[in-house]
A = this chain, B = another copy of it.
Amino acid sequence: MIFNNLERKRIILASNSPRRKQLLNQLGVKFEVITQPDINEDFPEDMIPEKAAIYLAEHKASQFDAEIDENTIVITADTIVVYKEKILNKPINFDHAQEMLNMLSGEKHTVITGVCLKSKENLVSFYSKTDVYFKKLDKIETDYYIYNFKPFDKAGAYGIQEWIGLACITGIEGSYFNVMGLPVDMLYEYLKKIE
């Protein structure tokens, strides 16, 4: 079996994202989901995106310090979308989503997910980076997508596994699952090493 080493561990995925839950599940990890409301997602302004993704993942993990006993491992993640050094957060409404997608239209952008694994005695953090290429989008496409898929819980205003990802993303360089929100290939390596 894969993950024999985790049999006596309590694994907590601290994320609201159904995509992360699905991916960790598909990876073959037994875990529970516990989230904490209203985590501050600010980070120092001069921080580069790679560091910010890790900083936010570690910050989310720090909320669990009181809960972590000898056998517990908390997994947190933060996904950041970067276009020309500008970080795109979750869109606040239809027009904001429209604006973000118009920015990404016909261009390359980068998705970075920071992940933190925290136990009583250890903290490991890492990130994965994927370049994503959108074709030129027209208004019919962005309207259709935003209206039907309401991507307001998604940084950059899109989900690669949704209609717009199928129809309008022409290619990526790096891990696909990282764009979905969890770099499972790297996470797998770290989880296998846990004793």
Contacts and interface: CB of A to CB of B under 8 A. Distances in A.
Interface stretch (A73-81, A103-111, A118-126, A160-168): A160-168
A23 B166 contact: yes
Contacts of A1: 144
Interface stretch (A33-41, A60-68, A86-94, A174-182): A174-182
B172 A27 contact: no
A166 B140 contact: no
B171 A175 contact: yes
A93 B177 CA distance: 29
A135 interface: yes
Interface bin, chain A: 20 to 34
Number of this chain's copies in the complex? 2
Contact of A185 (B2, B135, B174): B135
A46 interface: no
Nearest to A134: B185
Contact of A188 (B23, B144, B166, B174): B166
A161 to B, nearest CB: 9
A115 to B, nearest CB: 14
Contact of A167 (B130, B162, B185): B185
Nearest to A24: B166
B167 A184 contact: yes
Interface in A123-146: 130, 135, 140-141, 144
A138 to B, nearest CB: 10
B135 A167 contact: no
A176 B172 contact: yes
Contacts of A171: 130, 173-175, 185
Contacts of A168: 185, 188
A27 B166 contact: yes
A6 interface: no
B170 A140 contact: no
